[in-house]
Amino acid sequence: MKKIRQIYLLFFIVGIITSIETARAEITMNDQTAIINQLKAQAIEPNKTYFQYDFSNFMDNEDSFPRKKLFLAISNALETDPSMLPIARQNIAEVKLNNHYQYQDVLNRRRNIIEILYPTDAFQALDNGVHFYIFDKNNQLQKKEKFEDIFKLPCYLRVEKKNGIVISIQKRPLTSIAHFVYDYWPNQNLKHTVLEMYNNNQQLIFFYEIFYDENGKSIKSNEKNISTGQTMQASYLEKDGIESIEEYFDNQGIKTNHVIYYDKSKKPYLRIENQRLNQRGEVIETTNNKPDKIFETSQSLEEAHPYNTLIMDIEKTSGVLTGKLFRHTFDINTTPWDSEAINRAKFLGIKPNQTYYNKLPYPNFFNNRYKNFPHQAPLSLIEAENQQPKEKYSDLIKFEVGDNYQYKTLIKEKWQQSPITLPLEQFKPLENDIYFFTMGDNGQLQPLDNVEQAVALPSYIRVEKEMGKIISIVQKTRIIKVAYQFEYNNNTLIASKLNVLQSPVFQDMLIESQYENGNYYPRYQTIKNGSGIIIRTFKLIKRGEVKEGEVNAIYERFNNKGVKTNHITLSVQNNRNVIKNEYLDEKGQVTHTTDLFEDDEIDNQQFYDSKAPISPDTFEYGLFDFYLEHHQPSEESK
């Protein structure tokens, strides 16, 4: 009876699954029929060229039918589609459909959308709207009337004017040219797909093809890097615990790697077995890492000259692309990016060894700026002093660049802003403007000559009058002031100093860091207290891959008298990071050891211990958080 129940249960479950799959197939078929009917209603015909925005390659049959609008001809509507702005990419494809209205032949062009800094003089006579330009053989601007004239070119300029003002100048370089060819089984499942990628000279640079069985399941694939001659062949097995096998060959046809991918459920961790072979086909090394790709399909085409000399406007360009720019910090050769950064600073009117004030929000060290170059137009002090009028705390940042146009000094101040009430009669004689005062010992306002006098004081009062009325009276009190100094070698950061000039805690603390190869992560760092005594040191022993048992970092703590209290090492054991925290007595002898970096036992532990080593910006944010936690008045005392 129990066995019969199990059989009935099995049939019941299989029936449910079959019903679900049948329903899903019916929904897919109905969806595809609706798409085809819609295409027919729009007079879309097979084997005819159309244009589509935002095409994506596919491997599933349900994606083989176009769901986006097809255009009969290239038009400005394709070029100005607003959906492309968040991803900063223009994606326009020429498509042909087969007799079943599935994609058959697709030529897809992708472009980056990059806002640039460029003189607007040449565009002042333009009417409002969008205009297109290219550079001719003499690098002179040449206007083009229609998008159709330029959409195949390696790059073009797009100028937009509104209310008589140029609001945007973009360059739109091709990043990829991809040709897809799709072949199907009689049941309309994919049978064979081909991808061909071209450079800006219409030369084939990469070939890739996949074969499918009648159920649309991948069987095998081949790819070839045309430039290097390298090839790769893959077989998709999905049996005996093996998902697939890849075989790599050099330009002579000699096999270099035999790579096995195991089923994740069978080998969840070490699921890759990469056998490196010699010329005789013998295994000389086995690793769990994938070989390098023979071709990087995500790598953008090189920009044509002179478009590659145009300067990115970092403030207006999408973070998708600025993030890529910032990562060039770690390139082996950064010369072209350094040159662009210097030209950007010059275009913005920044000159070496002069004082400027920074726009907010301030771009954080390395993560949001390229190699410590400024990329925002500088402000005057009167512009910078009141950038956050509605915030309880505001920032004021002063900077100088050196002869290399990189930040030489930075002075960053945090001010507390408190609206106050004062008798308005005393301000009646004032004209519409901004005024600065101090409060005298007798409770009377003392006028200051200018904003420079005001910010030099620990506290001042700011009064703003507009249209004959006082619209703002704010008392501003400086709570934190830190100063940075940076040193470079050929535009590469080698050292920095951070000095706490004003703070409720850690007054006069000094953090000195040394960097290697431009990496934002310090190689060596010391922290000194206000008396000049070293209280922390950090040393990076090895960057990158660390072998078993190797120590890659040492962190040491000292008390305020300079006596070492902790010797902490970070090493690798059994493929995991291991902390060894040795506690020392006054004679330097180990009293006991823990495996914790932060420990309640440590008498002089501070907030910055958890952030070690400290990079610029990290400390000052922690310092402000510490202030908010420990130095704000409680609700009871208000």
Residue 451 pLDDT > 80, yes or no?
yes
Q: What is the mean pLDDT of residues 586-615?
A: 82
Question: How many domains are contained in the chain?
Answer: 1
Mean pLDDT, residues 135-145 taken together: 95
Round to whole Å and give the CA distance between 520 and 576: 24
Check pLDDT > 80 for residue 501: yes
Higher-pLDDT residue of 229 and 616 is: 229
Dmax (CA) for the chain in angstroms is: 102
378 CA to centre of own chain: 23
Which contiguous run of DSSP H or E holds residue 578? Answer: strand 576-584
193 versus 519: which is more confidently predicted?
A: 193
CA 187 from chain centre, in angstroms, equals: 44
Burial (Cβ within 10 Å: 0-12, 13-18, ≥19) of residue 242 = middle
184 burial (CB, 10 Å; 0-12 / 13-18 / 19+) is buried
Look at residue 27 and tell me whether its pLDDT is greater than 60.
no
How far is 152 from 177, CA to CA, in rounded Å?
10
The span from the CA of 527 to the CA of 618, in Å, is 14
Rg of the chain over all Cα atoms, to the nearest angstrom: 32
Q: At 335, is the secondary structure helix, strand, or coil? A: helix
- Is the torsion defined by CA of 304, 309, 315, 321 positive or negative? positive
| Three-class SS of 238-303 | EECCEEEEEEEECCCCCEEEEEEEECCCCCCCCCEEEEEECCCCCEEEEECCCCCCCCCCCCCCCC
Calpha distance 74→462 (Å, rounded) = 57
- Residue range 568-594: average pLDDT? 89
Q: Cα(177)–Cα(93) distance, rounded to whole angstroms?
A: 10
The tens digit of pLDDT for each residue in 548-562 reads 678 889 999 999 999
Looking at residue 523, its pLDDT comes to: 93
Cis peptide before 613 (omega within 30 of 0): yes
Q: Tell whether the model's pLDDT for residue 346 goes beyond 70.
A: yes
Is residue 124 in some structural domain?
no
**Full residue range of the structural domain in which residue 223 is found:** 178-287
Cβ neighbours, 10 Å, residue 259: 20
In a domain, residue 427? The reply is no
Please check whether residue 248 lies inside any domain of the structure. Answer: yes
pLDDT at 2 (0 to 100): 39
Across residues 437-455, what is the average pLDDT? 95
Q: Which helix (H) or strand (E) holds 464?
A: strand 459-466
pLDDT at residue 473, rounded to an integer = 97
- 56 is a domain residue: no
Buried b (16+ CB within 10 A) or exposed e, 481-497: bbbbebebeebbbbebe
Task: Report the C-alpha gap between 506 and 527 in whole angstroms.
Answer: 11
Residue 630 lies inside a defined structural domain of this protein = no
Contact between 377 and 359 (Cβ < 8 Å): yes
Question: What is 508-568 written as a DSSP string?
Answer: T-EEEEE-STT-SS-SEEEEE-TTS-EEEEEEE---S---TT-EEEEEEEE-TTS-EEEEE
List, for residues 364-420, the tens digit of each pLDDT value. 888 899 999 999 999 999 999 999 999 999 999 999 999 999 999 999 999 999 999
Q: Indicate if the pLDDT at residue 22 is higher than 50.
A: no
CA distance 473 to 173: 50
Q: Is the C-alpha dihedral spanning 64, 67, 70, 76 positive or negative?
A: negative
**Three-state DSSP class for 165?**
strand
Number of helices (H), then strands (E), in the chain? 7, 34
pLDDT of res. 21:
43
**Dist CA 119 CA 103 (whole Å):** 44
570 in any annotated domain: no
For residue range 39-53, list pLDDT tens digits in order: 999 999 999 999 999
Inform me whether the pLDDT recorded for 173 exceeds 90: yes
Q: How far is Cα 193 from Cα 104, in angstroms, rounded to an integer?
A: 9
- The answer to whether residue 3 scores a pLDDT higher than 60 is no
Residue 606 pLDDT > 90: no
Hey, which residues does 445 pair with through a beta bridge?
439
Query: Minimal CA–CA distance to 309: which of 117, 152, 174?
Result: 117
| pLDDT of residue 292 exceeding 80 | yes
Tell me what pLDDT residue 14 has. 35
What one-letter code names the amino acid at 386? N
Region for residue 544 given its phi and psi (left: phi exceeds 0; alpha: psi -120 to 50; beta: otherwise): left
* Band (15; pLDDT cuts 50, 70, 90): very low
For residue 77, which of 136, 151, 14, 168 has the smallest C-alpha distance? 151
More confident residue, 66 or 271: 66
**Per-residue confidence (pLDDT) for residue 75, from 0 to 100:** 83
Tell which phi-psi region holds residue 574, choosing left (phi > 0), alpha (psi between -120 and 50) or beta: left
pLDDT at 131: 95
Q: Is the pLDDT of residue 90 over 50?
A: yes
pLDDT at 611: 80
98: CB partners within 8 A, 6+ apart: 46, 47, 104, 182, 184
Answer whether residue 1 shows pLDDT above 60. Answer: no
- Give the per-residue pLDDT at 160: 96
Mean pLDDT value across the chain: 90
Report yes or no on 523 lying in a domain.
no
Structure tokens at 27: 């929904």
Tokens representing 462? 């700011």
Whether the link from the prior residue into 119 is cis, omega within 30° of 0, is no
For residue 488, the cross-strand partners are: 493
- Model-level pTM? 0.86
Percent of the chain with pLDDT over 90: 75
Distance CA 147, CA 126 (A): 17
Rounded CA separation 273/551 (Å): 28
Judge whether 569 lies within some domain.
no
